[in-house]
Amino acid sequence: MSRIVTAFNKTVVEYFRKTSLNGFGLLYFIRKRRIQRIFWFLFISFGILFASYAVFSMVLEFLSYSTIADLSELKVLEDEIHFPELKICSGYKFSYRNMLASAHDLVSSQNKSLDYWLNKLSLLSGYFDALSVKAENVDDLNSLLDIKNISSFLLALTPACESLILKCKLNNIPANCLKLFTLKAYNDGNCCVLRNSNLTGELTLFMDSSQIDEYPLNGNLPGFSLHVPSWQGRVSINPGEMAAVEIEVMELQGNSQLNEYAVEKRACYFSQEGESREKCLHECRIKATLINCQCVPYPFEFRTQKFGYCTLENIRCLQLVERNWSPAQCPQCLPLCNQLFYRLNKQILGHLHPWRSELNFKFKTPHRQRYKTNILYHWYQMLSNVGGVLGICIGCSFISGFELIYFLVFRLWTNYLRQPET
């Protein structure tokens, strides 16, 4: 037998005789009791296998899910909860009265019929939905209308906020609706949006849901849609409804220690690192249009002033982008680590005349749910968990580890040197 094998066997026997690991020494001291030795060997082997499985699973979980979210309820004062960016959009993208007035102006300036101009003006819906019109029908539209500022022109065709929102009350006190709301352009149409972001309490709106502004376009629906910046923040209001809309607030809060992880690992941005996912997706879509069409799609704004708005002359390119673009093309667009989410819950209280609708906005409770994202394990917690598993299963500790290294290196080398050369 070679010197190394003899030295190894001697070191193993010495290790089991002197080790501090509970139970391992029995394999040496009861070596003449065959049944007991087999039992302890199987028992220790099972402990080693189970400990290896538990530690391996723990490490995999740590590598796969480095963060954990805790749910708690945060109580805040009522005047500290502010209304989100509330958008109220008419079901009709264009106002029949405004369309008729613009068509009359065009009839007086050019020798075409009223129906002809109403048909041409309806094609402007392609600015909101490029796939809603046929490219061959809009090729000459810009030259016919001679539109200098498409944004102002489209806003002029939209139902005005003063015609949609008839009366307003803030905390049961009458308020000027024009000071509360302003008309802005969005990719799903022109909507009335709250001017002030510091409003609290209760907001009551009396809406005009008559069909006086109805204009026959694809996708037009009677009533209104309400939006807040959240994927669960949209409800519809039908004509004549008397509805209470409760706003539920959820807060996502990321622990600052998450900065220790790469963005790809924690899957969120802090405010100094990036913008919200909605803004990022908007910019990603704009960049796709810029690359393909060399213009900015209406109604988005872009940081550079080098490119102007796309017109219906670019409709074929816009339709191509619309058919092929998806959020999946923007994997860098992640949510913020710290942000507020809103959910709208509608309850119908009754019905009014079909020409009128009443909305009452208020917060569901003076509380908000907080989802706190923390690091799943700190390094010392990970070490403690691994040590606990090894300690329970095989009675192992740091000392046991160094002891094993001592026998496998120093004692093995000493025993090897002591063996006579053959």
79 and 124, same domain (yes or no): yes
Co-location of 96 and 50 in the same domain = no
Residues 146 and 287 in one domain: yes
| Structure confidence at residue 204 (pLDDT) | 93
pLDDT score at 30: 67
CB 370 within 8 A of CB 251: yes
Q: Are residues 148 and 286 in the same domain?
A: yes
- Residues 210, 94 within the same domain: yes
Residues 327 and 234 in one domain: yes
97 shares its domain with 143: yes
Query: Domain boundary at 375, 390, 410, which?
Result: 375
Residue for token pair 């403690």: 384
Residue 78 sits in the same domain as residue 131: yes
- Cβ atoms of 85 and 228 within 8 Å: the answer is yes
Q: Which domain holds residue 338?
A: 72-375
Same domain as 389, residue 355: no
Per-residue pLDDT 10s for the chain (422 aa) are 577 878 777 787 777 777 777 667 666 666 667 777 777 778 778 878 888 888 888 777 776 666 555 556 666 655 567 888 889 988 888 888 888 888 888 888 777 888 888 888 888 888 888 888 888 888 777 777 777 777 788 888 888 888 889 999 998 999 999 889 988 887 767 789 988 767 888 899 999 888 777 777 766 778 888 888 776 778 888 889 999 998 888 888 877 777 777 777 777 888 888 888 888 888 888 888 888 988 888 777 655 556 777 888 888 999 999 899 888 888 888 888 888 888 888 999 998 888 889 999 888 877 777 777 766 666 667 777 777 777 777 777 777 777 778 877 877 788 777 777 76
Q: Quote the pLDDT of residue 231.
A: 67
| Same-domain status, 367 and 401 | no
User: CB atoms < 10 A from the CB of 94, how many?
Assistant: 26
Q: Tokens 């290790």, residue?
A: 15
Kindly state whether residues 352 and 389 are assigned to the same domain. no
- Say how far apart CA 122 and CA 114 lie, in whole Å: 12
Single-letter residue type at 277 = R
Which amino acid type is present at position 219? G
Q: Does the reported pTM lie above 0.85?
A: no
Q: What is the pLDDT of residue 358?
A: 92
CA distance 287 to 391: 56
Quick one: which of 25, 84, 130 has its CA closest to 342?
Answer: 84
Q: How many CB atoms lie within 10 A of CB 117?
A: 22
Please tell me the predicted confidence (pLDDT) of residue 136.
85
Per-residue three-class SS string for the chain: CCHHHHHHHHHHHHHHHHCCCCCCCHHHHCCCCHHHHHHHHHHHHHHHHHHHHHHHHHHHHHHHCCEEEEEEEEECCHHHCCCCCCEEEECCCCCHHHHHHHHHHHHHHCCCCHHHHHHHHHHHHHHCCHHHCCHHHCCCHHHHHCCCCHHHHHHHHCCCHHHHEEEEEECCEEECHHHHEEEEEECCEEEEEECCCCCCCEEEEEEECCCCCCCCCCCCCCCEEEECCCCCCEEEECCCEEEEEEEEEEEEEECHHHHHCCHHHHCCECCCCCCCHHHHHHHHHHHHHHHHHCCECCCCCCCCCCCCECCHHHHHHHHHHHHHCCHHHCCCCCCECCEEEEEEEEEEEEECCCCEEEEEEEECCCEEEEEEEEECCCHHHHHHHHHHHHHHHHCCCHHHHHHHHHHHHHHHHHHHHHCCCC
- The type of residue at 374 is N
**Structure confidence at residue 218 (pLDDT):** 66
Residue 145 corresponds to which amino acid? L
| Residues 179/145, Cβ–Cβ less than 8 Å | no
Task: Tokens for 221, please give them.
Answer: 């629906």
240 and 197 share a domain? yes
Residue partners of 193: CB distance under 8 A and separation at least 6: 85, 86, 87, 88, 181, 182, 183, 184
Total domains in the chain come to: 2
Q: Give the integer Cα–Cα distance in Å for 301 and 315.
A: 18
Report the candidate in 63, 66, 400 with the shortest Cα–Cα distance to residue 257.
66
Any idea which residue has 């909305």 for tokens? Answer: 359
